[in-house]
Amino acid sequence: MASKLFRSVILGAPASGKGTISSRIVKNFNLEHISSGDKLRLNIQNKTEVGLEVEKYLQSGQLVPDSLMIKFIVGEINQVNGKSWLLDGFPRTVIQASSLWNVQQLDVVLNLVVPFDVIIERVKGRWIHLPSGRVYNTDFNAPKIPGKDDITGEDLVQRDDDKPDVVRKRLEQYENMTRPVIDYYKNKGVLQEFHGSTSDEIWPKVADCLATLVPLNAAAQKSQI
């Protein structure tokens, strides 16, 4: 692990490959992965004080207030016991970004830039066997018989939020919400953007960037997932 605490954030639209890139970063650069969504779900499941408060907002259809999210994330960062970390899923607003910066000045913000049309095509091919949760993609993991689960032969379905018009709306909402955050970090001089259509195309660029920033872990970079 690097002798200096390394603090980073990863940004990327839904289905941009952020999860894949994050897992490779965590493995190859020995960073602690702090996924705000996963941590929130865990706190709700375990009925912690924060979890109960967050659940109250979610059940009433309200957004979780910035102040509560900031308090929650700072608490999660403090729990990694001085390890370097990668924050995923936070911040989502400039208020959150500014509040985080006041307590944790970041070394780098990684922004994955994948064309929306590529994401829509990728998601459009996703089909699910609901009883088992098995996921297929007609582009790279197609079922043996179109529209049927390989194991049971039962019908596959496409989730409503995977349909192209819904995906495009979500991507536009993400763009509108995240653009001010990206601009904030650009002004801070810590933004690094990585363009590509696939995770395998983007990953080497991310790895090369981090190898210069986390030098003691650079040797591990070649052991790709």
7 is catalytic: no
Which is the catalytic residue, given 7, 24, 39, 92?
92
Query: Any binding-site annotation on 159?
Result: yes
168 is catalytic: no
134 is catalytic: no
Query: Any binding-site annotation on 136?
Result: yes
Query: Any binding-site annotation on 36?
Result: yes
What does the block give as tokens for 31?
A: 């960073």
Task: Give dist(CA 68, CA 52) in Å, integer.
Answer: 12
179 is catalytic: no
Query: Any binding-site annotation on 63?
Result: yes
Query: Any binding-site annotation on 96?
Result: yes
Residue 57 φ then ψ, to 5°: -70, -45
Query: Any binding-site annotation on 123?
Result: no
What does the block give as tokens for 51?
A: 């979890």
Which is the catalytic residue, given 7, 18, 39, 122?
18
Query: Any binding-site annotation on 91?
Result: yes
* β-strand partners of 135: 128
Per-residue CA distances from 116 to 19, 168, 200 (Å) = 17, 7, 17
Query: Any binding-site annotation on 204?
Result: no
The rounded Cα 115 to chain-centroid distance in angstroms is 16
Which is the catalytic residue, given 4, 56, 159, 169?
159
Query: Any binding-site annotation on 134?
Result: no
Task: Give dist(CA 190, CA 8) in Å, integer.
Answer: 9
Can you point out the beta strands (E) in 13-71?
32-35
Query: Any binding-site annotation on 122?
Result: no
Which is the catalytic residue, given 71, 134, 163, 170?
170
Q: What does the DSSP 8-state code read for residue 149?
A: -
Annotated binding-site residues read 36, 41, 62-64, 89-92, 96, 126, 135-136, 159, 170, 199
Annotated binding-site residues for GTP read 126, 135-136, 199
Annotated binding-site residues for AMP read 36, 41, 62-64, 89-92, 96, 159, 170
Among all residues, which ones are annotated catalytic?
Answer: 18, 92, 126, 159, 170
